[in-house]
Amino acid sequence: MKRINVNPTRMELRRLKNRLKTAIRGHKLLKDKTDETVRRFMIYIKENHRLRSELENELPQSLKSFLLASAVNGRSVVEEAVAIPSYSITLKSVTQNIMSINVPQIEIVKGTNTDLYPYSFASVSAELDFSIISLSGILNKLIKLAEIEKTCNMLADEIEKSRRRVNALEYVMIPDLTETIKYITMKLDENERANTIRLMKVKSIINDKSI
């Protein structure tokens, strides 16, 4: 806590009081924003953990089915069956506003052909069907997970910035302004007392001369 180097005048005192009032209000608003951002961040973190857990359970099963299909039908047959995919999607990236932060929102736009299976069911075993449909669901979750992780990173950065600003106001700016206002008030009071004493002395001298 240090005093700001300013002239101890009433005008400066009024200006610093206005700055202190603004700083206190800004500190409250920033702290409220930080608290709400942390709350939103925790919601996304829980969703991130849920999706990751699901993917960690589902992905090995899908790959296991794919390997089993390769073993049953032959690697070359499976590769030929999935060589030309019939199902396509397009990703559309937009933004949504969370606490004045533009975070990404990825939308999946399906193509005109919605058939997941680019092969005849008679040519391969059911294991490949299960693997294809499972991997399709995993793709949607992977895209959602990427969106959520990016959002978490952006919210974490904003929380860190907001906390630095809150701490700067709480531990530096507001104490410095308070100390400076206290100093100027003390100096003005001293000047006021000195002026009062001088006036009393002048009055006393005038009274003595009149006698």
Q: Name which of 6-10, 62-66, 100-104, 167-171 the model is least confident about.
A: 62-66
What residues make up the domain containing 40? 10-204
Rounded CA gap, 85 and 194, in Å?
Answer: 93
Task: Let me know if residue 209 belongs to a domain.
Answer: no
Task: Let me know if residue 59 belongs to a domain.
Answer: yes
Task: Let me know if residue 1 belongs to a domain.
Answer: no
- Rounded to 10 degrees, what is the CA torsion of 171, 172, 174, 175? 80
Where is pLDDT greater, at 171 or 210? Answer: 171
pLDDT at 85: 67
Task: Let me know if residue 92 belongs to a domain.
Answer: yes
Q: Convert the pLDDT of each residue in 62-116 to its tens digit.
A: 888 778 777 777 777 766 666 666 667 788 888 889 888 999 888 887 766 656 6
Q: Convert the pLDDT of each residue in 129-162 to its tens digit.
A: 677 777 777 888 899 999 999 999 999 999 999 9
Residue 209 to residues 184, 195, 198, 202, 203, Cα–Cα distance (Å): 37, 21, 17, 11, 10
pLDDT at 203: 75
Task: Let me know if residue 164 belongs to a domain.
Answer: yes
Where is pLDDT greater, at 88 or 48? Answer: 48
> Which CATH number do you get for residue 73?
1.10.287.3240
Task: Let me know if residue 4 belongs to a domain.
Answer: no
Task: Let me know if residue 33 belongs to a domain.
Answer: yes
Residue-averaged pLDDT of the chain: 84
pLDDT at 69: 74
Bridge partners (DSSP) listed for residue 201: none
Q: Is the pLDDT of residue 2 over 70?
A: yes
Task: Let me know if residue 5 belongs to a domain.
Answer: no
Number of domains the chain is built from:
1
Q: Which helix (H) or strand (E) holds 129?
A: helix 126-168
What is residue 173's DSSP assignment? Answer: I
Give the pLDDT mean for 193-208: 78
Give the pLDDT mean for 37-42: 95
pLDDT at 171: 93
Write down the pTM of the prediction.
0.75
Where is pLDDT greater, at 60 or 86? Answer: 60
